[in-house]
């Protein structure tokens, strides 16, 4: 299927149907690789662990986070 045919067929879709592939295509343009994501998450985990170890931040339990989140959406 060539690009022109894809475009022609896409233009016959509803706005909502057209939005879905557009969003996926746009996100794919700047999407980091799996290795970049893994590296970024590792750095973030190390940063957070250092903050916990140094005492500059305190851990919050998952239950407490959920309680606060529920209170915000009520």
pLDDT reported for residue 28: 84
The predicted structure's pLDDT at residue 74 = 87
- DSSP 8-class letter at 57: S
What is this structure's pTM? 0.48
pLDDT of residue 27: 84
Give the whole-angstrom CA distance, residue 32 versus residue 45.
18
pLDDT score at 32 = 84
Residue 20 structural domain: 3-72
Contact between residue 58 and residue 47 where contact means Cβ atoms under 8 Å apart: no
Extract the tokens encoding 19. 């939005």
Number of domains into which the chain is organized = 1
- Chunked mean pLDDT (size 10), the chain, 74 residues: 89 92 87 89 96 96 95 92
């Amino acid at each position: 299927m060539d690009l022109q045919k894809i475009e022609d067929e896409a233009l016959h879709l509803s706005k909502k149907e057209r939005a879905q592939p557009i969003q996926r295509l746009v996100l794919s343009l700047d999407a980091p690789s799996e290795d970049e994501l893994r590296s970024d998450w590792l750095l973030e985990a190390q940063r957070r662990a250092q903050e916990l170890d140094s005492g500059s931040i305190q851990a919050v339990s998952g239950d407490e986070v959920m309680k606060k989140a529920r209170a915000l959406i009520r």
